Structure 1
Amino acid sequence: MANPPLAIAAAMITCHVRYVIDANLIAEFETYAKMWIPLVEKFGGKHHGYFLPAEGANNIALALFSFPSLAAYETYRQDSQQDTDCQAAFAYAAKTRCVLSYERSFFRPVFD
């Protein structure tokens, strides 16, 4: 979609992150996840939690968080690059190698 209608572009967005994690480092990934929940909220987002493997694939984890708009999310992404707490979370993931890869998708929620 080239240019979404303005009403959709300005609407709340929810980011879905699908992680491929090292199944031997789930505890380390959980530590990493717990670092990010307050950081997303510090930058104006609402974190809906991380979801770790229970049944089925043992190397897939998910995260969901929302921002008031895609613009607010982009501001968070830029500002997080300069934040010392965010830098510590990035460094922890790099040091432990608990995250092998990830992909982000964006959704607009529908409510009653």
Structure 2
Amino acid sequence: MITCVVEYVIDPTKIDAFERFGRRWMELVDRHGGTHHGYFLPGEGASDKALALFSFPSLAAYEEYRALFGVHPDFVDADRIRDESGCVLRYERTFMRPLLPGDGVVKR
């Protein structure tokens, strides 16, 4: 399993647009072979940071999903929310391998 962590710097005055953008991408990840773990939005403290976490069974499965960017109409529409609203100022994507409760635990 591979988990993608996306760190966003957002425009806090456009949080409603960012939420629309996030809801749309959660649907697309889940529909195209991944599991979306949600978006984590500003609560207290810094008001311009947000995170998204989603997983795919493998890097190859993620690459199949990524091949739809800019091509599949639903992906284009989702990006349009971000582009037209200006809710995302920048983002950085990192791939991680999760260590989950119970992974590698030997039961006695």
Give the TM-score taking structure 2 as reference length: 0.90
Q: Residue 8 of structure 2 aligns with which residue?
A: 19
How much has 1:31 moved relative to structure 2? 0.8
How many residues are treated as equivalent by the alignment? 101
Correspondent of 1:76 among 33, 43, 65: 65
Matched, 1:63 2:47: no
Q: Does the aligned pair in 1 maintain the 2:68–2:75 contact within 8 Å?
A: no
Matched, 1:105 2:84: no
Q: Pairwise CA RMSD of aligned residues?
A: 0.8
Q: Does the aligned pair in 1 maintain the 2:40–2:52 contact within 8 Å?
A: yes
SS in structure 2 of the partner of residue 35 of structure 1: helix
Correspondent of 1:95 among 84, 90, 94: 84
Please give the alpha-carbon distance, in whole angstroms, between the structure 2 residues aligned to 1:34 and 1:110: 26
How much has 1:81 moved relative to structure 2? 2.8
- Tell me the percent identity: 53
Instruction: In structure 1, list runs of 5 or more residues that go unmatched.
Output: 1-11
Instruction: In structure 2, list runs of 5 or more residues that go unmatched.
Output: 103-108
Give the TM-score taking structure 1 as reference length: 0.87
How much has 1:98 moved relative to structure 2? 0.3
Please give the alpha-carbon distance, in whole angstroms, between the structure 1 residues aligned to 2:14 and 2:80: 16
- Following TM superposition, the consecutive aligned residue runs of length 4 or more in structure 1 with deviations greater than 3 angstroms are none
**In the alignment, residue 31 of structure 1 is paired with which amino acid?**
R
How much has 1:80 moved relative to structure 2? 3.2
SS in structure 2 of the partner of residue 33 of structure 1: helix
Q: Residue 43 of structure 2 aligns with which residue?
A: 54
Q: Residue 3 of structure 1 aligns with which residue?
A: none
Please give the alpha-carbon distance, in whole angstroms, between the structure 2 residues aligned to 1:35 and 1:41: 10
